[in-house]
Structure 1
Amino acid sequence: MVNVTFKQKPVTLIGSELKVGDQAPDFKALDNDLEEKMLSDYKGKIKLISVVPSIDTGVCSIQTNRFNEEAKKLDNVQVLTISMDLPFAQKRWREVNQVEDLNMLSDHRDADFGEKYGVLIKELRLLARSIFVVDSNDKITYVEYVSEVSDHPDYDKALEAAKNAQ
């Protein structure tokens, strides 16, 4: 059981904790054009999944911009940012921030990703900040559930895991 806080107050995560070695669950989310996307759409690629509560907050914005910059340097790695933000808000944010090297997905409709990856915050209907690296065979090779939602993830460890995944 993962213990996570939001502004120092404990929150309840819905879903099961995932661990290194687990098969990454397939999920459904919407892209910025309201098209349904699934993990299986990125089959054969390494996936770095960056999960943020809301793209319109400081830490989430920094996290997404950082992974966008790093995505240019990664071979065969698809970077995905997933949040509960509406696809329209994500698209606007992408345009303002000139983000072109990662895909943003919205879990707002069904919370399918949040439940399957154990990051849906029951009290807020937001996603807990986390990172998942999934190899080309859809095995999880790196997991970080950030213990305080307002803190940054360990960017260096996540990027190293993505570089080392096959």
Structure 2
Amino acid sequence: MKKMCMAAVMVAGGTLGGYAQQAGDVSVKLRGQEVKLSGMLPAVGAEAPDFTGVDGSLSDVSLNGFRGKRVVLNIFPSLDTPTCALSVRQFNQMAASLPNTVILAVSMDLPFAQKRFCSVEGIENVVPLSVFRNPEFAERYGVLQVSGPLHGLLARAVVVVGADGKVEYTQLVGEISEEPDYKAVMEALK
């Protein structure tokens, strides 16, 4: 297997980082250690799989509830890590300049922790969603870490869903401890 020399590699309207193999056999790295994932991100042009997450008020929120708006899924392992926290702060800043766009910060963190983080950090432009009781999200989006020290948590990825519910862009970050390519996300949103 050939090692990728960049954190993420552009492929067919999105990016796939780490080692790209065939469907169901995708892996990324965590501090250089290979981590296998449960599947692949949805294909660009495909209908984005609907899912339900839990917001800070413990209400269920579905992706389909945002139909008519563009949605950015900022997917990550946990707000209790510096890189994940940084990505939410960065997307919060970006969201202010994105009309008709909602950014969902998706992790398995408990809604209480997400709410506390957003309150302390002044996060107002991002909607935190916990998928702790909705395992179908990780399976439908192929981002469940099935090996490695963070086994059971989500990998780092970004998915842009158009107002029509179709996937417009994907980015699977090849090294989980690194940030997503924000510039590429912004380009995809133009």
Normalised by the shorter chain, which TM-score bucket? over 0.9
2:181 to 132, 136, 154: 154
CA distance in 2, matches of 1:110, 1:37: 11
1:66 to 81, 90, 93: 90
CA distance in 2, matches of 1:33, 1:77: 21
CA distance in 2, matches of 1:153, 1:140: 17
Letter aligned with residue 157 of structure 1: A
CA distance in 2, matches of 1:110, 1:70: 27
Larger helix percent: 1
Q: Deviations over 1:60-92 (max 9, x none)?
A: 111100000110110100011100101111011
Gaps of 5+ in 2: 1-21
Bigger Cα Rg: 2
1:118 aligned partner: 142
TM-score of the pair, normalised by structure 2: 0.82
Q: Deviations over 1:36-74 (max 9, x none)?
A: 111111010000110111111111111100000110110
Gaps of 5+ in 1: none
Q: How does 1:32-47 map to 2 (within 5 A)?
A: 32-47=56-71
| Matching of residue 136 in structure 1 with residue 163 in structure 2 | yes
2:37 to 13, 23, 33: 13
CA distance in 2, matches of 1:48, 1:17: 14
2:28 aligned partner: 4
CA distance in 2, matches of 1:155, 1:17: 18
2:72 aligned partner: 48
Letter aligned with residue 14 of structure 1: S
Conservation of the 8 A alpha-carbon contact between 1:30 and 1:36 = yes
CA distance in 1, matches of 2:29, 2:114: 25
1:80 to 93, 104, 109: 104
Conservation of the 8 A alpha-carbon contact between 1:146 and 1:153 = yes
Give the deviation of 1:5 after TM superposition: 1.5
CA distance in 2, matches of 1:61, 1:27: 23
CA distance in 1, matches of 2:89, 2:47: 28
Give the deviation of 1:3 after TM superposition: 2.5
Count the aligned residue pairs: 163
Q: Which runs of 4+ in 1 moved over 6 A?
A: none
Question: What secondary structure is seen at the aligned counterpart in 1 of 2:64?
Answer: helix
Identity %: 39
CA distance in 1, matches of 2:79, 2:155: 12
Letter aligned with residue 110 of structure 1: N
